[in-house]
Amino acid sequence: MDSWQDKDYKGYICGIVGQLKDHFPDASYLAFNFREGETQSQIADVLSEYDMTIMEYPRHYEGCPLLTMEVVHHFLRSGESWLSLGQQNLLLMHCERGGWPILAFMLAALLIYRKQYSGEQKTLDMIYRQAPRELLQFLCPLNPIPSQLRYLQYVSRRNVATEWPPLDRALNLDCVIMRFIPNFDREGGCRPVFRIYGQDPFLASDRTPKFLYSTPKKNNTFRAYKQVKLFSSRYCCESR
């Protein structure tokens, strides 16, 4: 979007809408947009001129291409409700720049939720193959797939879970296994620092992420790890 002038962008989207209406003249549309910030997006302004319903969601949660289970649940229920009204109801999904990882995850969740696909890994891989693999690496320096697969498992297990969506619960982080130790200190290792952000487990009413934990220092420095210890070391920490 950053490369488009307002007039050019509006004309581009209007052209897409025109093609959709030519192919599906009797269809009704619900558009999901994954945006940055809180203000109404540019595409929402355009689509509203065509009497399309637009629902907007964040494109990340604290920089991670996932959303809270409450938001995921709202998205799944909204999409399922809309599509179940009839075959004339079509669902559009759009993301702003940088939002491809969250769009891929949410689409995988919807397909699994509606039982159109099974298998978390297979479904997520199928969607990510719709774009160059390098795009995910460009947008996410850290690999988001393990966390996205864990959330997709929550969705696929909804029929056997006693509560859906799953309730928040406190977790203990016992250890972090580093399968590769980078050479940051030019001595064959590094001094990793882990910081954990999340909701305060003692303030259920406050949903704002808080700084919960940081790697402790010893003698005013952090512990060093060497590449020669790659197969034998585990970085252990305790979270309370």
What is the arrangement of strands in the sheet containing 89-95, beginning at the earlier edge strand? 53-58, 28-35, 89-95
How far apart CA 41 and CA 62 sit, in angstroms, is 19
Positions marked catalytic: 95
Residue 214: enclosing H or E segment and its boundaries?
strand 210-214
| Alpha-carbon distances, residue 3 vs 7, 64, 163, 235 (angstroms) | 12, 24, 45, 43
Would you tell me how many other CB atoms lie within 10 Å of the CB of residue 10?
Answer: 16
Alpha-carbon 240 to chain mean position:
26
